[in-house]
């Protein structure tokens, strides 16, 4: 249900930051043009439109900040200048009282914090729009971090979302690009993201899965350190995990002072990303510097630490194969292959001319390939490709948009660590090895092993099934005869219906003639 005071507050903020001018300038309607002329009789906005929108969202509170963060990932839908500005949105939220946090923990876990923990820090160490974090110590001596959901979040979110749906409906009806921008779908996607983040058990399960993928006894034990989930201390609004010790990856000078190999750290970050995407098909989709730390402990110095698992992405085998082949085609400048992959995937209409799509892809990629490899942005190439694909009615898949946003984060982080990082050179051998393992003899062997458990169930039944099929009576002749009889009966019925219709029409004509006379 919409809140009138909240609606008034939104209108006031929109007028303060001249969002009326921003909205009206995007509507191709005579009434909108006249209103825009009246609006611009005053002073023109002095700040860029992206900055005005960002400041307005920050003024409206944490839910709108979160919406701006999600909207910044949809670079296939919004102009680049607005998307770049929205990526600067940060959660600057005051913490809620510690006694409230303790009460939430007690209600969720069934005991006061004094009994649950040997120590519990009253002051939160971090506070964001959805939750805040307190450090604690379990009775067995393990140090943990307790994430507590903000009270009353669901009610606040539902009220603001109802307003956003109304606004999205207006944009879709009034803006010339409204249908293509799919504002209601964007709000629906935001709704899903928010409600997923409100369930901290879901976040805990994401954390557990990622930890298992990078377990110490697995094939890549030293790539990424993921905290252990303390399941006995978790609920839908409380998430307790192992406390991690490290330095934000953005603090490069501190890392260098500790002796961390910065160029190697940048390459390892790229390897972690591609490992999650292509080996696991399950990736941390919020890899900005605030969620990525580097261990400063002597025994694990330089090891990446992942935090905040509210947003993750999943890819099917089809998605992984499609992406790997696209990336390799880019590396080899095989634009015809890129166009063919788009058509074969069904993401462009089957009537699309392959050579026309190839030319569009070439126009996107060639300007980048003429630069030194270290200056090429793989994320920007993918972004330009998404933007170009609009004219071919490409349906951008949500999981690929999330992947593209994560790739931009990873690439930006890598270049921040090492400005000379060559993402293409780092990624190409990995992708070639991945394709060889999936398509070559090793891949065939792996698939046979995966399917062997299913085969073992029905292979013993194969002789009986073959015998039953071979000894089954041939009824094809009888079926054919029955179909022919049905067709003849239908044809006779049709002829009779035509005759009756003719007689009825004749009788009706005679009756009308008699009445007229």
Tokens of 327: 């990336």
CA-nearest of 341, 510, 308, 327 to 425 is 327
235 bridge partner residues: 238
β-bridge mates for residue 2, sequence order: none
CA 257 to chain centre: 36
User: Token pair of 97, please?
Assistant: 């009282």
The residue length of the chain stands at 517
Alpha-carbon distance of 327 to 91, in angstroms, equals 34
Contact 423, 270 (CB under 8 A): yes
- Encoding tokens for residue 20? 């009326």
Nearest to 351 by CA among 294, 392, 301: 392
| Alpha carbon distance 321, 241 (integer Å) | 34
Distance CA 223, CA 273 (A): 10
| Inter-residue contact 302 to 294 (CB < 8 Å) | yes
Residues 6+ positions from 441 with CB-CB distance below 8 Å: none
Name the maximum alpha-carbon separation found in the chain: 113
Which runs of consecutive H residues, i.e. helices, occur in 17-48? 19-24, 30-39
Note if 296 is an active site residue: no
Given the residues 20, 177, 280, 286, the one annotated as active site: 286
Report which secondary-structure segment, H or E, holds 257: helix 252-257
Q: Please give the positions annotated as active site.
A: 286
């Amino acid at each position: 249900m919409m809140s009138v005071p909240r609606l008034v507050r939104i209108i006031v903020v929109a007028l303060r930051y001249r969002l009326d001018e921003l909205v009206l300038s995007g509507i191709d309607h005579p009434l909108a043009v006249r209103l825009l002329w009246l609006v611009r009789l005053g002073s023109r906005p002095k700040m860029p439109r992206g900055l005005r929108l960002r400041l307005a969202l920050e003024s409206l509170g944490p839910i709108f900040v979160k919406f701006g963060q999600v909207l910044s990932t949809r670079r296939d839908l919004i102009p680049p200048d607005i998307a770049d500005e929205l990526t600067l949105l940060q959660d600057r939220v005051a913490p809620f009282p510690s006694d409230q946090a303790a009460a939430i923990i007690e209600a969720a876990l069934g005991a006061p914090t004094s009994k649950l923990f040997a120590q519990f820090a009253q002051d939160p160490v971090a506070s964001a729009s959805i939750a805040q974090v307190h450090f604690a110590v379990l009775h067995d001596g393990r140090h943990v971090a307790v994430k507590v959901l903000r009270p009353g979040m669901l009610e606040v979110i539902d009220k603001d979302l109802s307003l956003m749906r109304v606004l999205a409906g207006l944009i879709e009806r009034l803006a010339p690009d409204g249908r293509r921008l799919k504002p209601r779908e964007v709000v629906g996607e935001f709704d899903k993201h928010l409600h997923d983040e409100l369930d901290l058990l879901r976040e805990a399960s994401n954390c557990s899965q990622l930890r298992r993928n990078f377990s110490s006894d697995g094939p890549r034990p030293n790539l990424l350190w993921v905290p252990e989930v303390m399941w006995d201390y978790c609920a839908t609004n409380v998430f307790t995990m192992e406390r991690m010790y490290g330095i934000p990856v953005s603090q490069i000078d501190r890392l260098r002072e500790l002796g961390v190999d910065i160029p190697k750290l940048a390459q390892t970050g790229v390897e972690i990303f591609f490992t999650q995407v292509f080996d696991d098909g399950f990736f941390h989709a919020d890899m900005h510097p605030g969620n990525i730390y580097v261990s400063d402990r002597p025994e694990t110095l330089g090891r990446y630490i992942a935090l905040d698992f509210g947003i993750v992405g999943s890819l099917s085998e089809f998605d992984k194969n499609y992406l790997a082949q696209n990336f390799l085609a880019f590396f080899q400048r095989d634009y015809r292959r890129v166009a063919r992959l788009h058509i074969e995937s069904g993401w462009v209409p089957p009537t699309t001319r392959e050579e026309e799509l190839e030319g569009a892809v070439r126009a996107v990629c060639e300007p980048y390939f003429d630069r030194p490899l270290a200056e090429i942005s793989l994320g920007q190439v993918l972004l330009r490709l998404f933007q170009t694909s609009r004219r071919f009615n490409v349906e951008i898949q949500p999981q690929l948009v999330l992947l593209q946003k994560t790739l931009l984060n990873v690439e930006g982080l890598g270049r921040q660590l090492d400005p000379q990082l060559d993402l293409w050179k780092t990624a190409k051998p990995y992708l070639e090895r991945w394709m060889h393992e999936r398509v070559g003899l090793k891949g065939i062997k792996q698939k046979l092993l995966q399917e062997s458990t299913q085969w073992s169930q029905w292979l013993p039944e194969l002789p009986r099934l073959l015998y039953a099929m071979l000894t089954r009576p041939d009824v094809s002749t009888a079926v054919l005869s029955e179909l022919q009889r049905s067709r003849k009966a239908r044809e006779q019925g049709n002829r009779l219906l035509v005759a009756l219709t003719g007689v009825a029409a004749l009788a009706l004509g005679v009756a009308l003639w008699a009445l007229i006379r």
